[in-house]
Amino acid sequence: MRLLRRWTGSHTRTLALGALFACACLSFASVTLHGATREARWCVRVVDGDTIVLDHGERVRLIGVDTPELHHPVKPVQYFAREARDRARELVGGNRVWLEYDQTRRDRYGRTLAYVFLADGTMLNLRLIEEGYGFAYTKYPFRAEYMARFRAAEQRARVGVRGLWATR
């Protein structure tokens, strides 16, 4: 009982503040895998299939994938847009993600451009294309090895009649 009393009050607050500080430090941790630095962050919201919002409100556009439009000022909601958003939400919503950057860090709208990785090492950008939720978006240059993988994944999704490529 005496020991329990010693850990109440200010000790508990100090311990809680220490734990909070450690969590805050870990939320900005970065690791190097296969020569590329990946920054750990939290996904707090999924805007659509190819855009997420991270802790501190940072908007991230997935490099090399284009999903149907859900929130466009002029265009109506496109076929399979909600499904793409829901799948992205299922994979990363509320979860820790790791970002890998390319040579261009921001798009013309000020969004961060990144490859987004899940806890198991799966690249979200590639997974959405493989499952037929988006197209390989090769209009703007990005890493050649990823571009080739994205194109091949789209081709496999088309041949496998998955997602967008399934009959309406």
Task: Answer whether 136's CB lies under 8 Å from 147's CB.
Answer: yes
Catalytic residue among 69, 100, 130, 131: 69
Task: Show the DSSP H helices in 35-139 as ranges.
Answer: 81-92, 124-130
Marked catalytic residue, from 61, 85, 87, 127: 61
**Annotation marks residue 69 as catalytic:** yes
Q: Phi and psi (nearest 5°) for 64?
A: 80, 5
Q: Is 61 a catalytic residue?
A: yes
Bridge partners, residue 98, by sequence: 40, 117
Catalytic residue among 59, 82, 96, 111: 111
Residue showing tokens 């997974």: 127
Residue-wise DSSP of 133-162 = SSEE--SS---HHHHHHHHHHHHHHHHTT-
d(C-alpha 73, C-alpha 106), whole Å: 21
- What DSSP state is assigned to residue 122? -
**Would you name the residues annotated as active-site residues?**
61, 69, 111
